[in-house]
Structure 1
Amino acid sequence: MGDDRAGHRHPALAALTIGAIGVVFGDIGTSPLYAFREALAQSAADGIDPSEILGVLSLALWTLFLVVSVKYVSFLMRADNQGEGGVLALAALARRSMGIRSKLALILGAAGASLFYGDAIITPALSVLSAMEGLRTIPSASTVFDEGTIRLCTIVILIALFLLQSRGTAQVSRLFGPICILWFLVIGGLGIWHIADEPSIVRVILPSYGLHFLANHGVVGLFVLGAVFLTVTGAEALTADMGHFGRLPIRIGWFSLVLPALALNYLGQGAFALSSLEAAARAGQPFTNQDWFFLMAPESLRPALIVLAGLATVIAAQAVITGAFSLTQQAIQLGFLPRLRVRQTSADFQGQIYLPAINWLLLFGVLVLVIQFKTSSAMAAAYGIAVTGTMVVTTCLAYLVVRHRWGWSRALALSAILPFLALDLVFFGANILRVVEGGWVPLLVGAGVGLLIYTWVRGRGIVSAFEKRQAIPLADLAAALARRPPERVPGTAVFLTANPASAPGALLHNLKHNKVLHAQNLIVTIRTADRPVVLPECRAKVERLDENFATVVLTYGFMETPDVPRDLSRDLGIETNSSGLDPMKTSFFIGRNTLKPEADKGMPLWQDRLFMFLQRNASDPTDFLRIPPGKVLELGEQVTV
């Protein structure tokens, strides 16, 4: 028996590891296309000498070791929310641990989510554009593929990628793992080939080369450090995708293939640059920074490498787009954003979703970046700030989890987290220096999303406070109706409300205007748990008030899509309805208040109008809750926000 289980377990682990390599490491795996080139460019103003190549390379390798291997893979991946990772999953875990003191976790989660969207528009643009720029390294094609043509090819590829999102990626995603494994083997092989040019390059593994570089380059060293951080963009995916693949497959993929391939490639680029510098010095020619990654490959093999790089960058872009869909779904469930239309694109995998609004907004942002920045070098300056900002937020949330969830003492928690936070803040400070060069883009996107989140949360709070002031305790209403029963009509009525203890506004309006009460009345509340998934048997909590009313609380995980008719049709254990509901014989009542802006109350007038815009453009609750459209009645009143 034990051998059989092990036999089944090993193929599953291998499949998950291959899948993780194809999805989790797509972003960080394509960083060699531009990271070393951009870091070296920051120190090239007064020429490049061998010590600068060695110093930049040492910083790049130690950034990989410390940020990814130590911080994320060895430490932060332990802080999971029932197997799920990512900034919102971590925020939900911290909120559960802190209880009433969870406002800080809420703010940090919203900030991390806001910054992620800045990253989500830069990654597809930068990665695909950097791959297409490899065409300029083919001498015979350099006259055909000028800057404008390369930009046009990039735009066509990106538009095609976003158009395909509505069809889902379940089929093509099976190719992601094998393609990315081939990618890492190729870039590792290129690195080994050129390490042979300068075998002494391996000495940069000593951190003294990087520290010496920083000590002797002042402010320039900080700009280089900001560019060096490009080597670890995508590290957040290691925790964000834990729920899809598990901790062990990601760790195996990182240490067995991805880290060695990246390290070898960066060493190969450094050795190639060093040998090129020496050759230029011998020939008495000036040495210039070049596209080291593509130039490492022989000219005859370079077209194949460009095609492979294009596939790898498309996969990296796909991973970020999918991540944006998942993060948005989580944000909606946690109440950070209004309801948006969510479509399942696979009957077999619940995580395969498509959000049209997010898809087209991302495409618009990506195209604006490609057209505005024109080259990957210009765009690289914008990349680091969003990533480092998200990492700072993640580290702060990790402290809350370690302190309040794991129960560590303050001294022990600080001693574990402060080194990581200091490292993040150093990189964040280095990237802030590049705000003028383009770093303002993710900050602007993050601030815009943050404003939407703040407006939506505050507006919902005002509406909720109004509803509480108008509310009547459900128990009091039930007692009054038992004493003086209204006209009864056959069937079941489901009233959706945020507070099951109070009579829903739709119920009160139905009694006031229609003067009838259904034979059975369910007061249904939808709640989101601070865990990714809720077991079906734990979904519904039912309480019978009297023969007329029962309250039902349906709880969903923050990664689940509510399906109210499905869950009400199960056996709820209500005496008069033990077989569950037939959705087609049930009327669903939803409160729909009309919002009225007023400058002297609630939010400022401009924020009132923004909240009303979000409310108007939210997806229909019947669609979001999977309620048959023909069975819904909406009742409400005017609310001043």
Structure 2
Amino acid sequence: MSHPSSTPGTGPRSHGTSHGQVGLAGLVAGAIGVVFGDIGTSPLYTLREAFSEHYGLIANHDTVLGVLSMIFWSLMIVVTFKYVTIILRADNDGEGGIMALMALAQRCLAKGGKSAYLVGILGVFGASLFFSDGVITPAISVLSAVEGLEVVAPGLHAWIIPITVVVLALLFATQRFGTAKVGRVFGPIMILWFSALAVLGVLNILHEPEVLHAINPWWAANFFVEHSWGGIFIFGAVVLAVTGGEAIYTDMGHFGAKPIRYAWYFFVLPALMLNYLGQGALVLEDPAAIRNPFYIGVPEWARWPMIVLATCATVIASQAVITGGFSIARQAMQLGYIPRMHVRHTSSDTIGQIYIPGINWAMAVVVIALVLTFQTSSALAAAYGISVSLTMFIDTLLLIVVARALWPRWRKWVLPSCAGFILLDLAFVIANGAKVLQGAWFPLVLGITLFTLLRTWRRGRQLLHDEIRKDGIRLDTFIPGLMLAPPARVPGTAIFLTSDRGIVPHALMHNLKHNKVLHARNVFLTVETLTLPYAANDRRLKIESIGDDFYRFTLRFGFMETPDVPMALMRAGDIEGGICVDPMDTTYFTSRETVVASPRRGMPVWRDKLFALMHRNAAPATGFFRIPGNRLVELGSQVQI
């Protein structure tokens, strides 16, 4: 019933977040509260992990400055230059994220070509990695915050895991209520968090101002001189400082590029770097502080409040990742990569406030299982990074496609910059790949599993469509033949949902076969998903009359929208040549196929069976298209693929 279309839109957005009544300062504050939670909690563990036993580094003067220099320049090159300065320009009608970037890149290429296919593969794999990264972020963030209890009260060590599990369970349990009310306090809390990071950093830097020399890239180069090429593996810890760069791009549609840039350049980046440098100054003064430089650098009287503030900040960071997962899942649903799932709207004012129970509880189970399995944030840090690195690498490849096609003025400097980004991304991938046996296998296995599911669903739908089309009857020959011996007509409007506008819907054939009647008016409805986030009002609905009270409707939605078919069809009477669709006098017909696996057709049998299982458990059209259950008739049939 719904399939992606590559037809680009030209009109203004018909939905989405409106910033008209919100000042720039309010948007900046909101961005600080939502966009930077992931990257903003990295100081809890990044420097500590760089000096963990895994890397075998000694916390001496040159090594500390070298690691801090790499953290500083990674933040400048990867986050500031690549994501905030360049990739935020790649907006797909105001929306960002790897799925939006993939759709934008595909619009630059010939439809159905090998390049477009490869871009689709990269985008889907990147989205799969985003999910695998998303389940590690809440686990490592909340666990690292609660581990501060060990610093102030070592006797509470046994309570760290139970407290973490309770916090995470409450976080996922409250998702169904929506984030609109809680979101109002996100900004002030995160502003307080980043302010605290900056103040703590300055206080510690004053004890050892020598640490400011780490801004000089010579110290990063000197690190490699001393450690040779083996020093590249330290990027496995340095990447922890830049996790969240993709999240910055994903959340662009909520606030716009300008507020995000202002927040990063003038507040978030300085606060982060001051804190990292402050931790480095503390270690220069007392190398033993490397066991937990974040909390040891906090004055004793402030440690309990800091644990509470850090826990709040990590919960907010986790919330942003979870809602980002909902958003990516809805985009994937609309673009045809995952089965339809129940989507619940948690706000009557903001279309982006959604809750997907299936995604929420799947993430909850995996996140809590991670905490119980890995036990410490240090162990989770070994698993963290590989999916982030690969996602950043894929972003760079997609950026090259977009820059070449759409940015003739900027590509002269963007494309050479991408060559540098690729080298740095590959360094991160190699360094994190070395941690496969220590835990990095988990996000890889999860990402590959999700990728297999997404590709199986996409390919299975294509095979199902081809089988239905192969056995179908052409519409242009069916209607004239039907009118030679017309069946009885009953009052009302029948709407037949179909994914192929040229073929007679199975539901119509079954209705004629079993009920021997036609409605007074019959509509063949095709729902398309554009590679734009929102469909313009003037392109929403197209109506064609094909004679004898038969009509062909094409209804378009953007991939960020939740299709509401009855609401959209209420405009049918306002369009030239249209008809009035009375909701109380309309019946929707759709076919629900039972998929049977066949060993001699498109996919291996195990993938056929996997697709059949996914197809059986997909949400019915009633829920996905928001069609009232009492107006829907489903007719079943068996199809071999």
TM over 0.5: yes
- For residues 388 and 546 of structure 1, the distance between their equivalents in structure 2, rounded to whole angstroms, comes to 56
State whether residues 40 and 224 of structure 1, in contact with CA within 8 Å, keep that contact through their aligned partners in structure 2: no
The partner residue of 2:102 within 86, 91, 104 is: 91
Residue aligning to 2:601? 601
**Bigger mean CA offset, 508-517 vs 24-33:** 508-517
The partner residue of 2:191 within 162, 181, 188 is: 181
Asked whether 1:451 is paired with 2:452, we answer yes
- For residues 538 and 150 of structure 2, the distance between their equivalents in structure 1, rounded to whole angstroms, comes to 59
Q: Amino acid of the residue matched to residue 186 of structure 1?
A: A
Shift of the 613–245 alpha-carbon distance from structure 1 to 2, 3 Å rule, reads same
Asked whether 1:142 is paired with 2:154, we answer yes
The CA deviation at 1:634 is 1.4
Q: Amino acid of the residue matched to residue 181 of structure 1?
A: I
The CA deviation at 1:603 is 2.1
Shift of the 10–498 alpha-carbon distance from structure 1 to 2, 3 Å rule, reads closer
State whether residues 402 and 408 of structure 1, in contact with CA within 8 Å, keep that contact through their aligned partners in structure 2: no
Residue aligning to 1:384? 385
- For residues 510 and 39 of structure 1, the distance between their equivalents in structure 2, rounded to whole angstroms, comes to 67
- For residues 309 and 346 of structure 1, the distance between their equivalents in structure 2, rounded to whole angstroms, comes to 28
**Bigger mean CA offset, 117-126 vs 568-577:** 568-577
Asked whether 1:618 is paired with 2:618, we answer yes
Structure 2 counterpart SS, 1:599:
coil
- For residues 563 and 332 of structure 1, the distance between their equivalents in structure 2, rounded to whole angstroms, comes to 14
Report 1:274-293 matches (<5 A): 274-277=284-287, 287=288, 289-293=290-294
Asked whether 1:221 is paired with 2:231, we answer yes
**Bigger mean CA offset, 405-414 vs 73-82:** 405-414
State whether residues 183 and 308 of structure 1, in contact with CA within 8 Å, keep that contact through their aligned partners in structure 2: yes
Residue aligning to 1:282? none
**Bigger mean CA offset, 248-257 vs 415-424:** 415-424
Residue aligning to 2:5? none
Q: Amino acid of the residue matched to residue 493 of structure 1?
A: A
The CA deviation at 1:410 is 8.7
Shift of the 40–572 alpha-carbon distance from structure 1 to 2, 3 Å rule, reads farther
State whether residues 403 and 411 of structure 2, in contact with CA within 8 Å, keep that contact through their aligned partners in structure 1: no
Asked whether 1:294 is paired with 2:304, we answer no
Asked whether 1:484 is paired with 2:485, we answer yes
- For residues 184 and 574 of structure 1, the distance between their equivalents in structure 2, rounded to whole angstroms, comes to 52
Residue aligning to 2:142? 128
The CA deviation at 1:480 is 1.5
Asked whether 1:62 is paired with 2:73, we answer yes
**Bigger mean CA offset, 435-444 vs 42-51:** 42-51
- For residues 559 and 422 of structure 1, the distance between their equivalents in structure 2, rounded to whole angstroms, comes to 33
Residue aligning to 2:325? 324
- For residues 55 and 545 of structure 1, the distance between their equivalents in structure 2, rounded to whole angstroms, comes to 72
- For residues 29 and 411 of structure 2, the distance between their equivalents in structure 1, rounded to whole angstroms, comes to 39
Q: Provide, for residues 239-280 of structure 1, a one-character-per-residue CA deviation record: whole Å limited to 9, x for no partner.
A: 111110000000000011100000100010000100113xxx
- For residues 445 and 54 of structure 2, the distance between their equivalents in structure 1, rounded to whole angstroms, comes to 28
**Bigger mean CA offset, 508-517 vs 268-277:** 508-517
Shift of the 470–74 alpha-carbon distance from structure 1 to 2, 3 Å rule, reads same
Structure 1 counterpart SS, 2:67:
helix
TM-score (norm 1): 0.94
Report 1:154-233 matches (<5 A): 154-218=164-228, 220-233=230-243
- For residues 260 and 120 of structure 1, the distance between their equivalents in structure 2, rounded to whole angstroms, comes to 25
Count residues with an aligned counterpart: 620
Residue aligning to 2:32? 21
Structure 2 counterpart SS, 1:591:
strand
State whether residues 32 and 293 of structure 1, in contact with CA within 8 Å, keep that contact through their aligned partners in structure 2: yes
Q: Provide, for residues 295-346 of structure 1, a one-character-per-residue CA deviation record: whole Å limited to 9, x for no partner.
A: 1111111000110000000000000000000000000000000001100001
Q: Provide, for residues 470-510 of structure 1, a one-character-per-residue CA deviation record: whole Å limited to 9, x for no partner.
A: 22221211211233211111110000000112211111221
Shift of the 55–397 alpha-carbon distance from structure 1 to 2, 3 Å rule, reads same
Asked whether 1:252 is paired with 2:252, we answer no
Residue aligning to 1:284? none
Structure 1 counterpart SS, 2:543:
strand
**Bigger mean CA offset, 358-367 vs 103-112:** 103-112
State whether residues 544 and 574 of structure 1, in contact with CA within 8 Å, keep that contact through their aligned partners in structure 2: no
- For residues 573 and 353 of structure 1, the distance between their equivalents in structure 2, rounded to whole angstroms, comes to 30
RMSD: 1.8
- For residues 17 and 461 of structure 1, the distance between their equivalents in structure 2, rounded to whole angstroms, comes to 43
Shift of the 575–235 alpha-carbon distance from structure 1 to 2, 3 Å rule, reads closer
Shift of the 11–487 alpha-carbon distance from structure 1 to 2, 3 Å rule, reads closer
State whether residues 32 and 231 of structure 1, in contact with CA within 8 Å, keep that contact through their aligned partners in structure 2: yes
Q: Amino acid of the residue matched to residue 142 of structure 1?
A: P
**Percent of aligned pairs with the same amino acid:** 48
State whether residues 289 and 296 of structure 2, in contact with CA within 8 Å, keep that contact through their aligned partners in structure 1: no
State whether residues 534 and 557 of structure 1, in contact with CA within 8 Å, keep that contact through their aligned partners in structure 2: yes
The CA deviation at 1:46 is 6.2
The partner residue of 2:132 within 108, 115, 118 is: 118
Runs of 5+ unmatched residues, structure 2: 1-18
Asked whether 1:108 is paired with 2:122, we answer yes
- For residues 426 and 189 of structure 1, the distance between their equivalents in structure 2, rounded to whole angstroms, comes to 33
State whether residues 336 and 458 of structure 2, in contact with CA within 8 Å, keep that contact through their aligned partners in structure 1: yes
Q: Provide, for residues 84-117 of structure 1, a one-character-per-residue CA deviation record: whole Å limited to 9, x for no partner.
A: 1100000111111113231122111101111011
Asked whether 1:417 is paired with 2:403, we answer no
The CA deviation at 1:512 is 2.2
State whether residues 44 and 289 of structure 1, in contact with CA within 8 Å, keep that contact through their aligned partners in structure 2: no
More relative contact order, 1 or 2 (CA 8 Å, 6+ apart): 2
The CA deviation at 1:214 is 1.9
TM-score (norm 2): 0.94
Structure 2 counterpart SS, 1:593:
strand
Q: Amino acid of the residue matched to residue 294 of structure 1?
A: Y
- For residues 247 and 497 of structure 1, the distance between their equivalents in structure 2, rounded to whole angstroms, comes to 39
